[in-house]
């Protein structure tokens, strides 16, 4: 997966001014964004692997208290779930 793909976090909304940090595989942290409707988006990192990739989400940069998985594949980008 080349990275740089954007996926939306489902079943949760944030204030449009909220800061979102997405941490992949417990280490790589990339800043995401929240659109005007409150939908949060994460940007995938460069990973040399395919399959389900775990990620965590933080709004303060300290507590990554939401987690999920996305499918890293050359042709597909899917979110399996996000839990709090």
Q: Are 73 and 50 in contact (CB under 8 A)?
A: yes
Domain ranges of the chain: 6-83
The pLDDT value given to residue 75 = 55
CATH topology classification for 6-83: Immunoglobulin-like (2.60.40)
In this predicted model, what pLDDT tens digit does every residue of 14-65 receive, in sequence order?
999 999 999 998 889 999 999 999 999 999 988 777 888 899 999 999 999 9
Structure confidence at residue 5 (pLDDT): 85
- Summarize the confidence of residues 58-73 as an average pLDDT: 90
| Closest by CA position to 7, among listed 55, 66, 62 | 55
- Residue 26 and residue 15: Cα distance in Å, rounded? 25
Give the number of C-alpha atoms closer than 13 A to the C-alpha of residue 38, restricted to the C-beta side. Answer: 5
């Amino acid at each position: 997966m080349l990275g740089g793909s954007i996926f939306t976090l489902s079943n949760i909304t944030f204030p449009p001014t909220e800061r979102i940090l997405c941490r992949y595989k417990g280490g790589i942290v990339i800043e995401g964004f929240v659109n005007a409707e409150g939908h949060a988006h994460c940007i995938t990192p460069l990973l040399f692997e395919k399959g389900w990739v775990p990620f965590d989400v933080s709004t303060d940069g300290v507590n990554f208290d939401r987690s999920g998985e996305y499918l890293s594949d050359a042709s597909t980008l899917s979110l399996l779930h996000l839990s709090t």
